Amino acid sequence: MDRDRTAPDTRGRTTKLPLAIHPEVENALREGRPVVALESTIISHGMPYPQNVTTAREVEGVVRANGAVPATIAIMDGSFRIGLTAEEIERLGNTLDVLKASRRDVGLALAGHRIAATTVATTMIGAAAAGIRLFATGGTGGVHRGGESSLDISADLPELGRTPVAVVSAGVKSILDIGRTLEYLETLGVPVITYGSDQFPAFYSRESGVATPARLDSPREIASALASHWTIPAAGGALIANPIPERDAIAYAEMEATIIRAVRDAKEGGITGKEVTPFLLRRIVELTGGESLAANIALIRNNAAFASHIAGALRLTAGWSADGNAVKSIPPA
């Protein structure tokens, strides 16, 4: 269903973002059923074809199996697609020149009618415009190692500070500087909650050696905290860190040695800018003999299931208006 929807941005201004909302997603939002947004960069840039398409469909199936409606987001034909058809997922996964679009690329992608996969930041923009509050991904971006001199900081972080969507991930990608990333999120006023652990997870590993800013132990507790956070005027998003299942995790020390080697290879190869993260992830897959890719798929599935539970709990925790604002008091968790 193609239509222009007028949506309030996080500063109370009115914007007109072209949205094409899949009927299944549209119906779920209208009826107040839980919806979970999913990014599309993992389809176009995260895995080889056809594994990327298979994984995308499986993750959507995980969301449905856990009581929510999936809304994979991309930019196609001059609009944000909120929920993709099977044909559109195939198109994203099997097209070679898909643009990887962060916030700065959105206008160019829309005006040029480009096929663009959404990063964490851009998925948040589309989700918020459609009224979706929960988003599941693998790992978020952050401050790169050496970021204190390079100023290489992911656009995901300021987006979390401005856009009211909760991102469920296995922590920030372990190729990044976790400590500095958490410090930056604190400056932006972004709540960071780890589910069931006192340590912030390191993507492939359950532990990072870095204490989590906050720990909660159930989807209901997390939903209550989110609903309360969004009563703050101009509140942005939140980061919910969900550690990778123990059976799929890779030991932190083992992964750290692999990452250090991959970072060195990137520097020696002159890899810079937005090419750094895809290069490092590919190189880590090579160095681990595919073990990291299997872990990546497992944690994405795990996050999709957990985000679905939080989305369901959020609908029970507070009443919501059509634009996603809480409209009644929040019962205790």
Distances (CA, A) of 193 to 42, 167, 211, 252, 294: 24, 10, 11, 20, 25
Instruction: Spell out where the chain has E strands.
Output: 2-8, 14-21, 35-38, 69-76, 79-82, 99-101, 116-118, 134-136, 166-169, 192-195, 215-216, 238-241
Cα separation, 219 vs 68, whole angstroms: 14
DSSP 26-86: HHHHHHT--EEEE-SHIIIIIS-TTHHHHHHHHHHHHHHHTT-EEEEEEEETTEEEES--H
Q: Please say if 267 is a catalytic residue.
A: no
Tell me, what DSSP letter sits at residue 330? P
* 92 contact partners, CB below 8 Å, separation of at least 6: 40, 43, 44, 74, 84, 98, 115, 117
C-alpha radius of gyration, the chain, whole number? 18
- Catalytic residue selected from 26, 88, 173, 221: 173
| Residue type, position 223, single letter | A
Report CA 322 to chain centroid distance, whole Å: 22
Q: Which two tokens stand for residue 323?
A: 């634009």
- Catalytic residue selected from 39, 88, 90, 159: 39
Question: Do the strands 35-38 and 14-21 form a parallel or antiparallel pair, or are they unpaired?
Answer: unpaired
- Report which of 97, 144, 105, 139 is spatially closest to residue 122, judged by C-alpha positions: 105
- Report which of 153, 127, 170, 156 is spatially closest to residue 323, judged by C-alpha positions: 127
Whether 98 contacts 115, CB under 8 Å: yes
Name the CA dihedral angle for 170, 171, 176, 182, rounded to a multiple of 10 degrees. 180
Q: Please say if 173 is a catalytic residue.
A: yes
Catalytic positions: 39, 173
